[in-house]
Structure 1
């Protein structure tokens, strides 16, 4: 499988979904909108879009956005969560909307939308540094490892894409066996 082509196809499909729903335009009414995650880095191996909205959003606006998303074509489910007070180390503080939408008859998109206060994002510097480290060999290694593990039940629960990025970009990992060794070194397992 050509993982670069798969990544490009997922980017196109994801951008098409965002465009059809006019989601970025709608979200921009409530703050500064940034697509983050693997879509922003060009490292997609599955249908997943992460969006961050920096703005001081009211509860009414939050539920209005949820209503807007709920009314979109091919929506499968939507979940809402408030992480503003109960800080979970695996999440940032903010309001959260998780969406599943049908891409076709068998595949779904996962969209995560975070609403955070202005200045609360820690991602700008992270993405700048990550992009500086990327080259074709590292991109291919990341895509290979992500593609190999993204269906594993432990993915996103025990380890995440960030672990893969750190392993490849900071530790020189190039294959799945080395990634398993890296995870063991940091107290996680595949």
Structure 2
């Protein structure tokens, strides 16, 4: 989508459609959890917690995130516990990475995990991406707090996030280069309220990084 085509206004009808789609996706996410029996499988390892947009109510695409707080399970234990879900006939692909020790995703010991990505097709034919992080620690995770904060935001901010996510999810940069975290920060911390505002925020951030200067000023 060319920059000039980024919308600056959201009509009441468009807003209603965004929220209706969000609600439908969130309901479908709950069905996926039940179809795969994921919470029961994950409970064999530790404490499962639904995180991300399906938990915060800010969904724009079929992506489901689950965290499991555990006490240092091994790869065999993790895969055995999750096997009923992994072997479900609707699961088309499973990618697994053991990110423990030096392979911790952040480099910090507390972020060691077993990480799985499932590609699942529902009985209705919808393709879902399911991310499962089985943490090597049973300590509380910051992701759950972040999910709660997003869920409790002012409705105006939540609508801005949902709108910008919806527009950006159609672009090739999403979610690998530009993702939900970037959008949340732009709206909550920098005043972005429209997709055009968010694009201006990204340009200012990029320019600031190139010149090595201070962070960009908040969007108007």
TM-score by length of 1: 0.88
Report 1:110-129 matches (<5 A): 110-116=129-135, 117-119=137-139, 121-129=141-149
Residues 1:105 and 1:18: Cα distance change in structure 2 (over 3 Å) = closer
1:129-185 per-residue CA deviation (whole Å, 9 max, x = no partner) reads 3334x1222121111111111132211221210111111122221111110111223
Residue 66 of structure 1 deviates from its aligned partner by 4.4
8 A Cα contact 2:42 2:82, kept in partner: no
Q: Corresponding residue for 2:85?
A: 69
Q: 1:17 aligns with which of 18, 28, 32?
A: 32
Which is higher, the Rg of structure 1 or of structure 2?
2
8 A Cα contact 2:98 2:113, kept in partner: yes
Residue 21 of structure 1 deviates from its aligned partner by 1.8
Residue 33 of structure 1 deviates from its aligned partner by 0.7
CA RMSD of aligned residues (A): 2.2
> What number of residue pairs does the alignment pair up?
187
Q: Corresponding residue for 2:215?
A: none
Q: Secondary structure at the match of 1:43?
A: coil
Determine if the alignment matches structure 1 residue 37 to structure 2 residue 52.
Answer: yes
Instruction: In structure 2, list runs of 5 or more residues that go unmatched.
Output: 1-13, 208-220
Q: Distance in 2 between matches of 1:16 and 1:66?
A: 17
Residues 1:90 and 1:38: Cα distance change in structure 2 (over 3 Å) = farther
